[in-house]
Structure 1
């Protein structure tokens, strides 16, 4: 929601402004890099990019496209690459009843690839596309 510019952000107003300014800068850099790359590789690339991404103040369309392309990688980073104590899921079961662990046999971090439809490979739902007030 934050990346896509749809977060309700019920925190402090100053924090929201600071976050939005950082996101504008990040996606502005992405936009500038795309423009530069397209000017070297495609004849009408810049015009096509300007047509696709008309909002060059907040970059909402670019943010939506970035999220659509990267949501699986973000999910994998959240569930596989986090340090101990920072993981998205906590252990809930264990073979000896004393030690909890993530569900054995269903880890997607051991080389599974998106698109192969293996257990727990994809984000669990498209919950990120449901408006926050309905979650």
Structure 2
């Protein structure tokens, strides 16, 4: 059967394994950066150096800190599209013609849905 994370075929699985390896490398670099500064002890305690180097807590914190910027970058040139459901803008216009809410916040019902469930 289909593995929801690894996908259907070998190429898809290879791409996801490659992505996960790259994420480990990136978050290892971020971990090394955040455990160097003035708050080194606090950061080291929060982001324990996991044996498998996944840094899941660091990933969650990074996403929470950067989700708005990422969302703006993704939807920057998406004017006029009606991809998202029309409840985001509080009734003024469906997603304000920019695939984002009037106040530019990411629609929270969407960005926490895993990618494989969005399609």
Aligned residues: 97
Q: State the superposition RMSD in angstroms.
A: 3.1
Higher relative contact order (CA closer than 8 Å, sequence separation 6+)? 1
Deviating more after overlay: 18-27 vs 54-63: 54-63
Q: TM-score, normalised by structure 1?
A: 0.57
The answer for the alignment partner of 1:8 in structure 2 is 5
Structure whose alpha-carbon radius of gyration is higher = 1
TM superposition shift of 1:134 = 6.5
Structure 1 stretches of 5 or more lacking a match? 1-6, 93-102, 109-117
The answer for the alignment partner of 1:28 in structure 2 is 28
Q: TM-score, normalised by structure 2?
A: 0.63
| Residue of 59, 70, 75 corresponding to 1:63 | 59
Higher helix share: 2
Distance 2:72 2:104 in 1: 8
The answer for the alignment partner of 1:126 in structure 2 is 109
The answer for the alignment partner of 1:112 in structure 2 is none
Structure 2 stretches of 5 or more lacking a match? 83-92
